[in-house]
């Protein structure tokens, strides 16, 4: 059975303190790995798609990387507005119905 | 640009009452549509998805049903709510076979 595990469950950082979130996965054939951001009481917002090991994507202070077994979401010099829950999802087959989501990492950036 | 609307945003219902959550997508045609539930401390659980009008696939046997009466309209229903139906319900759409989902704002359901 597909498994997606995110760590840590929660992370508190000071503004400007860089760190990384981890998403490890076990799938028989990865079709894509997706990162989403979710603010409290809102729906998730799509951030990145990664398809193959070695691939990297960047958006503002966020950079996502992918290996054969895990993905990292690096956050550089974060600001309080980066506080949110970050969700990782893996896709094994065709279609978003084949997505398996992790539990998320709740990130808090203190000013 | 594409937008997705979901309502109501908040709902408090007694056990045994019916439920209807609605979702519409604008700015695209023939989207794939999804209903997810997100319980506190748990991940997103796919409930239903649809690739076209009248085509509904259920992922988890439960007290809920879904319908797609129009291309860009997706409805989640229940005839009799259970306490365990409480949660945060999310509608989403995607184009084709991509895993890129675009979510609505969510509907918070509390069953008392």
User: Does residue A111 carry a pLDDT above 90?
Assistant: yes
What pLDDT band is residue B96 in, cutting at 50, 70 and 90?
confident
Cα distance from A15 to chain B (closest Cα, Å)? 26
Name the residue of chain B whose CA is nearest to A10's CA: B41
Query: Containing H/E element for A79?
Result: none
Nearest CA-CA partner of B79 in B89, B65, B67, B69: B65
pLDDT in tens, B34-62: 999 998 777 899 999 999 999 999 988 68
d(CA A16, CA B23): 39
CA end-to-end span of chain B, whole Å? Answer: 39
pLDDT in tens, A31-60: 899 999 999 999 999 999 999 999 999 999
Cα distance from B105 to chain A (closest Cα, Å)? 5
> Hey, are the CB atoms on A96 and B41 less than 8 Å from each other?
no
Evaluate whether B62 touches B76 at the Cβ level (below 8 Å).
no
């Amino acid at each position: 059975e597909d498994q997606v595990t995110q760590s840590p469950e929660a992370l508190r950082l000071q503004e400007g303190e860089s760190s990384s979130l981890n998403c490890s996965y076990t799938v028989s054939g990865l079709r894509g790995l997706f990162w989403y951001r979710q603010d409290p009481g809102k729906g998730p917002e799509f951030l990145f798609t990664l398809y193959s090991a070695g691939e990297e994507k960047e958006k503002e202070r966020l950079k996502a990387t992918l290996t054969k077994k895990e993905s990292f979401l690096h956050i550089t010099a974060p600001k309080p507005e980066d506080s949110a829950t970050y969700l990782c999802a893996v896709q094994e087959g065709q279609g978003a119905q084949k997505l398996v989501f992790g539990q998320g990492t709740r990130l808090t950036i203190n000013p | 640009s594409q937008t997705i609307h979901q309502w109501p945003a908040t709902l408090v219902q007694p056990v045994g009452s019916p439920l209807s959550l609605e979702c519409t997508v604008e700015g695209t045609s023939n989207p794939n549509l999804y209903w997810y539930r997100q319980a506190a401390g748990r991940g997103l659980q796919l409930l239903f998805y649809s690739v076209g009008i009248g085509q509904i696939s259920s992922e988890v046997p439960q007290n809920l049903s879904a319908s797609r009466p129009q291309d860009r309209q997706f409805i989640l229903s229940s005839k009799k709510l259970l306490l365990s139906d409480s949660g945060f319900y999310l509608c989403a759409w995607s184009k084709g076979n991509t895993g890129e989902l675009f979510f609505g704002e969510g509907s918070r359901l509390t069953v008392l």
